[in-house]
Amino acid sequence: MQITEIIKDTQKDLKKLFSFYEDVALFNQEKVLNAFRHNNVALRHFNGTTGYGYDDLGRDTLNKVFAETFCAESALVSPYFTTGTHTISTTLYGLLRPGDTLLSVSGTPYDTLQDVIMGEGNGSLKDFGVCFDKVELTENGKFDYKAITAALKKPHTVIFIQRSRGYSWRNAFLIEDIRDVITHIRKLSEAPIIIDNCYGEFTDKREPLEVGADLIMGSLIKNPGGGLAPTGGYIAGKAKLIEQVSYRMTVPGVGMEVGSYENGYRLFYQGLFMAPHITLQAIKSALTFAAVFEKFGYETLPKRDAKCGDIICSVKFDNAKQLISFVQTVQRSSPIDAFVTPYPWDMPGYNHQVIMAAGTFVQGASIELSADSPIKAPYIAYLQGALTYEHALIAIDECLKKLNQM
């Protein structure tokens, strides 16, 4: 069979799962719309401000809209969060003090957070006297409840969960997984539970705050920015914790009361409004990539007919050459910088050379079709995003043709 025919057959196979996620998108679209209507969003909220940014209605109302969308008491949304890692680290530094202990129950955090938590001589949490414990996941990528119980016999100040897969061979956690582990933790500890929510927003009708989490954090150039937000991040959850984090973001005693943004906020509002639909495009793209590549003999995640906890598709290759070719073809399939050929390089914050394809309108935006991977065995490419499902279909065809030529 030709590649195009296999893609069409795969789309038929996925029809039931697509219908499920279309219903999720409809639910979330209404939730976002209601947050806009309840907070009386108007054209004046798009205006920028200068200087201190006192009484910045656009900023303050955007915080309220995010808070309602994610069922939070409060939210801190800012273009001055440079990355998801910056957003998460701001939260950690805001909540933790010398002598405190951070516990991750989802194993070692994502590569770029490791220097934040465990680095030496770089101003890390470790340098400030914050201890770090972790509970590894089971061999099949699930929470290890027995080990969590043992770890929680010691007091911990903050408990951390990474929802998405990072650079590991596992599926992202579903909301049910997060609900169950939080229920278990709450029997043993009252410490705040914070969730790295990157790539997981709007993949379910519920968000982690609705199943017991205290804070969630994420990047606006992923799901909640809808492909339009030019930068930024968000933190949402309990008001007391948000206030504490805001003092780290700016200064104690001032917190969220300042912060101007002269360019204005339209793209942040419009991006959030588009987010449920764009996330649907990305989910359909990930499911189709995984299913089609599986038919061609590659090991992939998510498996066919499996629910998604994030927007990522993982594809395992036999060697580095195949992996690099795949990522380079994703770049050639992109609308921006299609003529550029990415190569592995020593990217700041990573322990191995990394190759990244991101021919995106917003630099590095992984809600747009993109792919990246550390160059190490097993050779796994992590593909995410797609502003349109049609774009992903074109990329699937081009990637397979290139691999078949090798």
CATH number of the domain bearing residue 222: 3.40.640.10
Single-letter amino acid, residue 60: D
Give the residue from 212, 235, 264 where a domain finishes: 264
Distance CA(163)–CA(174), nearest Å, equals 8
| DSSP output for 243-277 | HHHHHHHS-TTTGGG----TT-SHHHHHHHHHHHH
- Could you list the residue range(s) of the whole structural domain that residue 230 is in? 47-264
**Contacts for 55 with CB less than 8 Å, ≥ 6 apart:** none
260 token code pair: 């101007």
Within a domain: 42: no
pLDDT for position 111 = 86
The last residue of one of the domains, among 227, 248, 264, is 264
Closest CA to 144 of 113, 116, 103, 175: 103
Q: Do 145 and 193 lie in a common domain?
A: yes
Taking residue 335's Cβ as centre, other Cβ atoms within 10 Å add up to 12
Whole-model pTM?
0.96
- For residue 321, the 8-state DSSP code is H
One domain for residues 19 and 63: no
Write the burial class of residue 257 (CB in 10 Å: 0-12 exposed, 13-18 middle, 19+ buried): middle
Nearest to 303 by CA among 319, 316, 321: 316
CA of 333: how far to CAs of 164, 317, 370, 379, 399, in Å? 25, 19, 10, 21, 8
Q: Do 344 and 253 fall into the same domain?
A: no
**Same domain, residue pair 255 and 188:** yes
In a domain, 41, yes or no: no
Domain count, the chain: 2
pLDDT per residue, tens digit, the chain (406 aa), is: 688 999 999 999 999 999 999 999 999 999 999 999 999 999 999 999 999 999 999 999 999 999 999 999 999 999 999 999 999 999 999 999 999 999 999 999 988 899 999 999 999 999 999 999 999 999 999 999 999 999 999 999 999 999 999 889 999 999 999 999 999 999 999 999 999 999 999 999 999 999 999 999 999 999 999 999 999 999 999 999 999 999 999 999 999 999 999 999 999 999 999 999 999 999 999 999 999 999 999 999 999 888 999 999 999 999 999 999 999 999 999 999 999 999 998 877 677 899 999 999 999 999 999 999 999 999 999 999 999 999 999 999 999 999 998 8
Could you tell me if 154 and 258 lie in one domain? yes
